[in-house]
Structure 1
Amino acid sequence: METIVELCKRRGIIFQSSEIYGGLRGAWDFGPLGVALKENVRDAWKTAMFQLRDDVVPIEASILMHPKVWEASGHVGGFTDPLVDCRNCQSRYREDQLPTNKSGEIYCPNCGQAGTFTEAREFNLMFRTFVGPSEDTAAQVWMRPETAQGMFVDFAHVQLTSRKKVPFGIGQIGRSFRNEITPRNFIFRVREFEQMEMEFFCKPGTDEAWHDYWIRQRYDWYTALGMDPANLRIRPHAEDELSHYSKGTVDLEYRFPMGWGELEGIANRGDFDLTQHAEHSGKDLSYFDQAAGERYIPYVIEPAAGVDRTVLAFMVDAYAEEEAPAAKGGTETRTVLRFHPDLAPVKVAVLPLSKKDTLTPTARRVNDLLKPHFRGVDYDESGQIGRRYRRQDEVGTPFCVTVDFETVEDDDAVTVRDRDTMDQDRVPIENLVAYLDDRFAAARA
């Protein structure tokens, strides 16, 4: 993990928030390449959920909601973790995540002492704030800990206005906030994060089949974007770890550097959420099936993933170190991120062989030619060409286009270098867009 963190900082992908003031634990900023990578992950999810389907519609719900939403959902009373303090060094931890020694006692990861903890007390993970000028209970609201509830409280209105029939889904991408006791493992567990969630409403009795369907759909989404199946597994929740609302949940887990960890949860939430909101609000959230002539509360299947955690998984999966030919002979170790082309933050880099005035106009012409066709074109003329290739390898750029003296003096063609094979092709500039389109299509196949 330290290698990934160092690469992210060196290339301005992800770095500590407020670093000049010492940083804030569990808070990270995304630089230009990190923003592009996150946007590509979001786009891939939205394409799969909305563009390629007719039965899922998007919404964008407010972060701040009526406080009774969180009472109905059970978050006010039950969204807690067991908090303990080490009496020896005053460090705080979640009790259920503390390591144990050979004697089976939990011990403090900071000072190493065992048996020095306070009694566990429940700690609510929701951030609270206030609406308006008063800071009292009447003005108190919560920063949402998940995006799901917005889709439940908006279910009836979205179903009516979108004219969708059950089964159908409502999805959104948005920020959530959880006051984690011990944020850790880079961007794996943080206090402010982004979720990609979808609530799929279906007829009771069909829910288990839909649950199986969405497990397979979500697994295939990751592998279609290049994730190694050897690093991805499906783990059903045991009976004693199911959430109070769940009829059944599986986690798609990824083999992170610190071990297997949840990448996405796919839960069968039954009719818990719509029933709870109907009871607490007094509004009818049932669905009338005209074809069957019956009314019912739909069951819900929920695939829920974190954007940040997904970014981390794809970075870990893409990372490789390998021996490559060095510019002055022999070999050297190159670092490369073998991103799927749809995820790569830079799709094409335009590299004039040198910073000579004779090359710049043509290189800029090539750059301008590519920008309308590929989102993520980088122009780089600083440093030796070999070092620039290595920089692009490190951020996962699939293709580098080099403009050299032969380009301007002879053939009006450029050299296209493949990230993975390092093979090079000579391509006329007039054919360059079509050539790259074909190469990207082949890489996606």
Structure 2
Amino acid sequence: MKYKIDDIIQHLKMFGFFFQGSEIYGGLSNTWDYGPLGVELKRLIKDLWWTTFVTRNEYNVGLDSSILLNPKVWEASGHVNNFSDPLTDCNGCKSRYRADQLIEEQKPDFDYSKLSNEQLKEYIDKEKIICPSCKKANFGEIREFDLLFQTQIGVIRDKKSEVYLRPETAQGIFINFKNIQRSMRLKVPFGVCQIGKSFRNEITPGNFIFRTREFEQMEIEFFYKPNDKTDWFQIWKLEIINFLENLGINLENISYLEHDEKKLSHYSKKTLDIEYNFPFGIGELWGLTSRTDFDLKRHQEYSKKSLEYLDPKTNKKYLPYVIEPSVGVDRLIFALLCDAYSVQKLKNNEERTLLKLKPIVAPYQFAILPLSKQLNANAMELWKKLLPKFRCTFDTSGNIGKRYRRQDAIGTPFCITFDFDSLNDKKVTIRDRDSMNQERISIVSLKETLKKLVNN
């Protein structure tokens, strides 16, 4: 069942997952701060990605490159000359849009990829493309909108001091290809993984954290021999799907869109969008791209430094080809939370709202709930014993029913209730979030029981 995006956002704000950026000053358009539970979820997802694709992967190593790079990096990559969108304004309501997206949404079968801005404007007028806001067909001229965030470095502000906030993390990997290969004595094929912030001056950010100007990426650049017969593209597609399923994403909400050759990016030989059915519609979740040797070749050309790999078997040099699996951390979190959000009708006509998060990504795996304030000291002693091994919270606010509902709402899979009987029988009650079933467990065997629960 699909829930309204506003209901999901309101729930996440209420329970400390997200806050509006700069809220006390009236906010800053399309900026979001991760609250105490949101940042914990984000950290867990990034750790799981890193463990999966770096720590436990036989091919890959990690990197953390600078946000500020030499401006020539972005000239070589094509971002300085090609990283812009066609901007147009509705003359009626003054809403601002990307001209290509307007055409794609209303005339999906039309190939606009090779049209100039003037030709795009002619087509929009001729076909009477309408404004999604006011439903009128009255758009202004189309002009290029630079997506790069520019800033200054150093004391003197002039042309020489101009640098860019990186629009992607990939180029930091490419310019370090030789350093990584040499220092780690790596043999092709191998991959380099990076998690980091990127910045794009989007025309139309929106849909909560789906599209923001400041975002975090998890990217892999996988280098392989150009004539390698292994289908690395398909291998990485399966790796992505396995990760999504392990994370808790419902694969029924996943679809695939292979880009038409005419609409491929200038660096791409093949691109597949792994999409998710968000409450606002289908949107790209994870990109998988065959970049060939475009990036290494460009950086070799612009830097005048060889980035070729010496094959130890043939003693010949070549520029490796690249497969790039790239996902936005924020989009991945949003998809996971959309899948997890659920409102259930109970027998007494009441409702409970819960987040069905798996224990591997739930901000808290367990909540310790003393039945009475008189039991707080005993329950807290148990909580402190569990803290070194588990993500565990201690909740004493409100009656036991309200505390169950609160833990359901933030995605805690299990609640452990310490009651008066616990003082005598040395047992506690474990409640399952999803089924609401309860089971009495010995405190002595509690750690072993909890280990099994979080690993299921």
| TM category, shorter | over 0.9
Aligned-partner residue type, residue 440 of structure 1: V
Give secondary structure in 1 for the equivalent of 2:283.
strand
Which residue among 393, 404, 418 is the counterpart of 2:432? Answer: 418
Aligned-partner residue type, residue 336 of structure 1: L
Aligned to 2:387: 371
Which residue among 194, 197, 204 is the counterpart of 1:182? Answer: 204
CA distance in 2, matches of 1:104, 1:394: 48
Aligned to 1:246: 268
Aligned-partner residue type, residue 444 of structure 2: E
Gapped runs of 5+ residues in structure 1? none
Give secondary structure in 2 for the equivalent of 1:251.
strand
Which residue among 54, 57, 60 is the counterpart of 2:58? Answer: 54
1:127-175: CA deviation from partner (whole Å, max 9, x where unpaired) = 0000012221100000000000000000000011111110000011000
Flag the 1:297–1:82 CA change in 2: closer, same or farther, 3 A: same
| Residue 397 in structure 1 maps to residue 412 in structure 2 | yes
Q: Is the 1:61–1:150 contact (alpha carbons within 8 Å) kept by the matching residues of 2? A: yes
Q: Is the 1:208–1:268 contact (alpha carbons within 8 Å) kept by the matching residues of 2? A: no
Aligned to 1:380: 395
Aligned to 1:97: 101
Q: Is the 1:351–1:401 contact (alpha carbons within 8 Å) kept by the matching residues of 2? A: yes
RMSD of aligned C-alpha atoms?
1.5
Aligned to 1:44: 48
Flag the 1:361–1:262 CA change in 2: closer, same or farther, 3 A: same
Give secondary structure in 2 for the equivalent of 1:345.
coil
What's the CA shift for 1:100?
4.5
Which residue among 120, 125, 129 is the counterpart of 1:106? Answer: 129
For residues 205-224 of structure 1, what are the structure 2 equivalents within 5 Å? 205-206=227-228, 209-224=231-246
For residues 40-439 of structure 1, what are the structure 2 equivalents within 5 Å? 40-98=44-102, 100=106, 104-115=127-138, 117-206=139-228, 209-325=231-347, 330-354=348-372, 356=373, 358-374=374-390, 376-408=391-423, 410-439=424-453
Aligned-partner residue type, residue 367 of structure 1: W
Q: Is the 1:207–1:300 contact (alpha carbons within 8 Å) kept by the matching residues of 2? A: no
Q: Is the 1:341–1:398 contact (alpha carbons within 8 Å) kept by the matching residues of 2? A: yes
Which residue among 21, 25, 33 is the counterpart of 1:21? Answer: 25
CA distance in 1, matches of 2:128, 2:101: 13
1:237-261: CA deviation from partner (whole Å, max 9, x where unpaired) = 1112211100101011011011111
What's the CA shift for 1:91?
2.6
Gapped runs of 5+ residues in structure 2? 108-125
Aligned-partner residue type, residue 243 of structure 1: S
CA distance in 2, matches of 1:232, 1:177: 26
Aligned-partner residue type, residue 333 of structure 1: E
* Larger mean Cα displacement after TM superposition, 82-91 or 179-188: 82-91
CA distance in 1, matches of 2:236, 2:164: 30
What's the CA shift for 1:111?
3.3
Aligned-partner residue type, residue 96 of structure 2: R
What's the CA shift for 1:106?
2.4
* Larger mean Cα displacement after TM superposition, 209-218 or 220-229: 220-229
Q: Is the 1:86–1:92 contact (alpha carbons within 8 Å) kept by the matching residues of 2? A: yes
CA distance in 1, matches of 2:266, 2:47: 32
Aligned-partner residue type, residue 341 of structure 1: P
What's the CA shift for 1:207?
7.2
What's the CA shift for 1:316?
0.5
1:379-431: CA deviation from partner (whole Å, max 9, x where unpaired) = 110011111111111111111111111112x1121111111111111112221
Question: Could you tell me the percent identity over the aligned residues?
Answer: 49
Tell me the TM-score normalized by structure 1.
0.94
CA distance in 2, matches of 1:20, 1:205: 57
CA distance in 1, matches of 2:148, 2:197: 13
Q: Is the 2:191–2:220 contact (alpha carbons within 8 Å) kept by the matching residues of 1? A: yes
* Larger mean Cα displacement after TM superposition, 170-179 or 376-385: 376-385
Aligned-partner residue type, residue 137 of structure 2: A
